[in-house]
């Protein structure tokens, strides 16, 4: 199975460079490219179905990525790829249903690896470390002191890349219980996903 991808960026070099790297990956193909939000909308409306994932720049003429986001998030997977960190968008990644917020200074192969993981794992959200740091620094209040040893252990498993099923096996609980544990941890740390929880734990030397 091949996943279809659309690239929306006003820089031709970025579009073409990323397209070349993506199409060297067996199960990914670029099926459309657009130079701005308006161009992207016109091309999307002409398609029978949306691509499996859209890589979206934020700063573009005619219609920027932020405006286009609201047209996309309920229809397909969206990954932001930008030179800028928009704090408001970064803080709302999970609530808006955005699957990733990556910076253009990451290695192209790493970006494509994260795109692939997003498509293969519905629970995975890709966020560049600089974006996470910015979000965490904007909220100094943290509930790390309230974490139990069990919750810290679970965070270590997450940092190691374990799935919910793998964590459940190690902790001798059900996957549903792991999900409940995670929800409690997110509430304590004032975060919304695994990546943000790991960032907070790492910042406080818990993992």
pLDDT, position 18:
95
pLDDT, position 42:
94
Return the SS3 of 99.
Answer: coil
Predicted TM-score (pTM) of the model is 0.66
pLDDT, position 138:
62
CATH (domain of 38): 3.40.50.2300
Which one of 109, 136, 163 terminates a domain? 136
pLDDT, position 94:
64
pLDDT, position 109:
93
Q: At what angle do helices 175-189 and 164-171 cross, to 10 degrees?
A: 100
Reported as type and span, the H/E element at residue 93 is helix 93-96
Please state the domain count of the chain: 2
Residues 101 and 129 in one domain: yes
Neighbours of 186 (CB within 10 A): 18
Residues 50 and 115 in one domain: yes
Which one of 136, 160, 194 terminates a domain? 136
Rg (CA), the chain: 18
pLDDT, position 21:
95
Residues 49 and 125 in one domain: yes
Task: Give Cα 102 to chain centroid, integer Å.
Answer: 7
CATH (domain of 152): 1.10.10.10
Show the low-confidence residues of the chain (pLDDT under 70). 94-95, 135-143
Closest CA to 185 of 126, 125, 142: 142
pLDDT, position 63:
82
Residues 94 and 193 in one domain: no
pLDDT tens-digit series, residues 155-174: 999 888 889 999 999 999 99
Residues 65 and 166 in one domain: no
Residues 42 and 79 in one domain: yes
Residues 39 and 69 in one domain: yes
Residues 27 and 14 in one domain: yes
Residues 107 and 156 in one domain: no
Q: What is the span of the domain harbouring residue 47? A: 3-136
């Amino acid at each position: 199975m091949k996943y279809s991808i659309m690239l929306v960026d006003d820089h031709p070099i970025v579009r073409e460079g990323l397209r070349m790297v993506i199409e060297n990956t067996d199960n990914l193909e670029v099926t459309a490219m657009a130079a701005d939000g308006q161009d992207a909308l016109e091309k999307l409306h002409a398609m029978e179905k949306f691509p499996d994932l859209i890589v979206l720049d934020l700063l573009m003429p005619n219609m920027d990525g932020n405006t286009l986001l609201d047209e996309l998030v309920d229809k397909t997977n969206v990954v932001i790829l930008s030179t800028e960190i928009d704090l408001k968008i970064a803080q709302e990644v999970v609530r808006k249903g955005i699957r990733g917020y990556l910076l253009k200074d990451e290695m192209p192969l790493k970006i494509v690896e994260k795109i692939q993981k997003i498509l293969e794992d519905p629970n995975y959200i890709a966020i560049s470390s600089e974006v996470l740091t910015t979000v965490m620094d904007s909220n100094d209040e943290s509930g790390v002191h309230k974490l139990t040893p069990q919750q810290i252990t679970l965070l270590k498993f997450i940092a190691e890349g374990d799935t919910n099923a793998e964590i459940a096996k190690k902790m001798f609980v059900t996957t549903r219980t792991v999900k409940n544990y995670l929800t409690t941890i997110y509430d304590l740390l004032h975060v919304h996903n695994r990546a943000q929880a790991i960032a907070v734990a790492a910042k406080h030397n818990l993992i």
